[in-house]
Copies of this chain bind each other. A is one copy, B any other.
């Protein structure tokens, strides 16, 4: 799945639940942060800025409902996905939750597998493809929608990373992108890869395109030009 790197904060006061769920979510490639009460949930949310927050309703310090209310009142969490964990028959909480802008509910008990599936579907729901336009430079045409590059109308297919890299560089022809910028944009600020990794991808692009459209600026970075 392309869910890599998504951060999930999960707050529950039962260590067992916390561990099982967080273990399974990690297996699926998510980055999991845990909290054992409402206060900690709020604090960690501010610290890590998770993409999804799962709050148990019944927790010490602050209930999930209170925590949600506080989080939602802050602009930075206005659009964060927040879901509640509730006991099966806890109608009261449901009603309260309704008014707090929770995005969904998960009823306990729930199997780890189902939990993972549900989380997947949450992200699926909000993952909309970014509107991308074609880049046209000389004999080169880059079609983000097709994940394809055409050189003199000859289709050339690049691998995902290669394509992303090319699109990024070509988004501003002539501008030099620092290696750090490239790493942040294409690999993400939290992924750590070696120095040579960029070079190798650059090389593959040059090789596949067959033309020299990526210039090395030694000691600085790369730029795209035709």
Give the B-binding residues of A (Cβ under 8 A): 1-2, 16, 20, 88-89, 94-95, 97-98, 100-114, 117-118, 120-121, 123-125, 127, 129, 143, 145-148, 159-160, 174-176, 178-181, 183-184, 189-192, 195, 217-220, 223
Q: Is A192 within 8 A of B120, CB to CB? A: yes
Q: Is A181 within 8 A of B111, CB to CB? A: no
| Assembly CA distance A160 to B190 (angstroms) | 28
Residues of B within 8 A of A114 (CB): 103-104, 192
Q: Is A95 within 8 A of B219, CB to CB? A: no
| Assembly CA distance A162 to B191 (angstroms) | 33
Instruction: Identify A105's interface contact among B88, B100, B127, B218, CB under 8 A.
Output: B88
Q: Is B111 within 8 A of A176, CB to CB? A: no
Q: Is A183 within 8 A of B124, CB to CB? A: yes
Residues of B within 8 A of A1 (CB): 179, 195
A-B contact pairs, 14 of them (CB 8 A): A1-B179, A1-B195, A2-B178, A88-B105, A97-B111, A98-B109, A98-B112, A104-B107, A114-B192, A143-B174, A145-B174, A146-B176, A159-B219, A160-B220
Q: Is B117 within 8 A of A146, CB to CB? A: no
